[in-house]
Chains A and B, each alone.
Chain A
Amino acid sequence: NAGVTQTPKFQVLKTGQSMTLQCAQDMNHNSMYWYRQDPGMGLRLIYYSASEGTTDKGEVPNGYNVSRLNKREFSLRLESAAPSQTSVYFCASRPGLAGSSYEQYFGPGTRLTVT
């Protein structure tokens, strides 16, 4: 099991460029999440998908879109990157079943720099 994988690991964008961060999990989890991590602010939820076919906004959704492509994959898109989106992005998943442990499993992160 690879767990949660993210691509790319590093990316540098110019202001106004677009890109998609990819996330996949092989644990047959129902729920998936995108967080961003900034110094002194912990991790903040951008968007989540409680189950295949649904997506919802988190705490900081502005400037982002998501797609739950299938049960395994959950992508995050920046349509027009801004320097304020410079951050480390984490994808996570959890079983999402009644009675499960509620633990989230995290990917290795993507460090994104917007110049």
Chain B
Amino acid sequence: AQTVTQSQPEMSVQEAETVTLSCTYDTSESNYYLFWYKQPPSRQMILVIRQEAYKQQNATENRFSVNFQKAAKSFSLKISDSQLGDTAMYFCAFMKPGRSQGGKLIFGQGTELSVKP
């Protein structure tokens, strides 16, 4: 069974600085998807970034980028130029594609990020 581990329950960063959130996963599959979701205090789950395992290039979305290390089974999220609005819980998630898998997401425990002024 696949597992996802986020080893940093809490992190803080000064506004305008860069922070990296860690995520490791365990799978024997070669094809899969990885996601970072953001959950602000409003509780709404928001997709931040997505990575397909077959793509070697790391995904980037504006100030958010990932460092995907397939052999190490590591998927970290880097937030550049941190803003107060980045304060949230961040979840790493894993999905196996394919009709028989049903598109289920397996989540890590979450990292609570505080951006300080």
Contact = CB atoms under 8 A, between A and B. Distances in A.
Interface of A: 31, 33, 35, 40-45, 48, 50, 56, 58, 88, 90, 92, 94, 96, 98, 101-104, 106, 108-109
24 contacts: A31-B103, A33-B104, A33-B105, A40-B9, A41-B109, A42-B6, A42-B91, A42-B110, A43-B45, A45-B104, A48-B103, A50-B99, A50-B102, A58-B104, A90-B45, A101-B50, A102-B50, A102-B95, A102-B97, A102-B103, A103-B35, A103-B50, A104-B103, A106-B44
A113 B99 CA distance: 35
B104 A88 contact: no
A109 B45 CA distance: 9
A74 B95 CA distance: 21
A54 to B, nearest CB: 9
A104 B105 contact: yes
Contacts of B106: 45
Could you say which interface size class chain B belongs to?
Answer: 20 to 34
Contacts of B95: 102
A41 B107 CA distance: 8
Contact of A31 (B43, B44, B102): B102
A106 B45 contact: yes
Contacts of B4: 42
Contacts of A92: 45, 105
**Nearest 4 pairs between A and B by C-beta?**
A42-B107, A106-B45, A50-B102, A43-B107
B107 to A, nearest CB: 4
B103 A44 contact: no
Contacts of B9: 40
A2 to B, nearest CB: 13
B44 A45 contact: no
Contacts of B105: 33, 35, 43, 45, 92, 104
A52 B106 CA distance: 22
